[in-house]
Copies of this chain bind each other. A is one copy, B any other.
Amino acid sequence: MNKAVILLSGGLDSSTTLYYARSKGHACHCLIFDYGQRHKKEILSAKAVARAAHCAFELVKIALPWKGSALLDKKVNIPKHRKLDATNIPATYVPARNIIFLSFAASYAEALGARHIFIGANAVDYSGYPDCRPAFIHAYQSMLAQGLKTGVEGKTITVETPLIHLTKAHIVRLALKLGVPVEKTWSCYQGGRTPCGVCDSCRLREKGFQEANHEDRGRTSS
């Protein structure tokens, strides 16, 4: 019994998390979300990465009737060239996104009999989203222990965040070491033919590859 549920967005971090969990011997079941994001490119990337890893995946469709984020609403601009160490939470924040994603992961884990959920949350080179921080992850796991049948039965479903304290450069090096098909991943908030290069996600990724002194084979993939 070594099943794990992996939240997979198709970006570098979640793909690295999948390969990390796989390297630890978990039978990985990926969860991919179609939640009305601006473009479908990341969903295609997530599927491609799951297939490359020979792992099962499920696609969950969520129709959020409200907006409140640049990632859900094309009328709101994606910030460009934002200061990466800014302390304010950017317009790309989606209200309760990881809270929702983890809730489905918990349901799936319990239905599967999996005891581990992996999420590629990172709290070093990130955009300041509150639902990526260790304090949130700890609180989420405590809540699961109270709210799930598994918890009442004295068993634990853990929320694993192997990347949470890594820099983007460390994540790049780990991805390369684990054989992550970097060219299949997609990080850009826009859905263009090539990454925009100016959104937070592109710039954090670029910083990681530069600091790791490695070419990003995903930079020009379409």
Contact = CB atoms under 8 A, between A and B. Distances in A.
A147 B132 CA distance: 8
A144 B95 CA distance: 11
B58 A61 contact: no
Contacts of A76: none
A59 interface: yes
Question: How many copies of this chain sit in the oligomeric assembly?
Answer: 2
Nearest to A94: B107
Contacts of A89: 149, 152
A142 B139 contact: yes
A138 to B, nearest CB: 8
Contacts of A95: 106-108, 110-111, 148-149
Nearest to A129: B149
A64 B151 contact: no
